[in-house]
Amino acid sequence: MAPEEIRQAIIEILGDIAPDEDLTELNDVQSFRDQMELDSMDFLDIVMELRKRYRVQVPEEDYPQLASMESTVNYLIPRMADAPA
């Protein structure tokens, strides 16, 4: 997957777990939690959906890497390189 496709995949996951949020104006460098109502259980949903949809395992020590869109995409680029778009 190319970085832009990974970003779109994350947007789709966020759209499913936070359907009341408007994601069109999401700032990629700002943390998700500063822009959206996301608690720890929602965050675990992101991890779970990555596992289910793309078979990406995010170990707990890497959770801080998923703080913002930019850091998430950077973290996932090598891990989703082979994922079909």
Residues 2, 48, 77, 81: which binds another protein (CB under 8 A)? Answer: 48
DSSP lists the bridge partners of residue 68 as: 31
- Quick check: 36 and 30 in contact, CB under 8 A? no
- Work out whether 20 is an interface residue with another protein (CB under 8 A): yes
Q: CA-CA distance, 59 to 61, in Å (whole number)? A: 6
- Work out whether 29 is an interface residue with another protein (CB under 8 A): no
- Shortest spacing between CB 50 and another protein, in angstroms: 12
- Work out whether 18 is an interface residue with another protein (CB under 8 A): yes
- Work out whether 44 is an interface residue with another protein (CB under 8 A): yes
Nearest to 44 by CA among 56, 27, 60, 26: 60
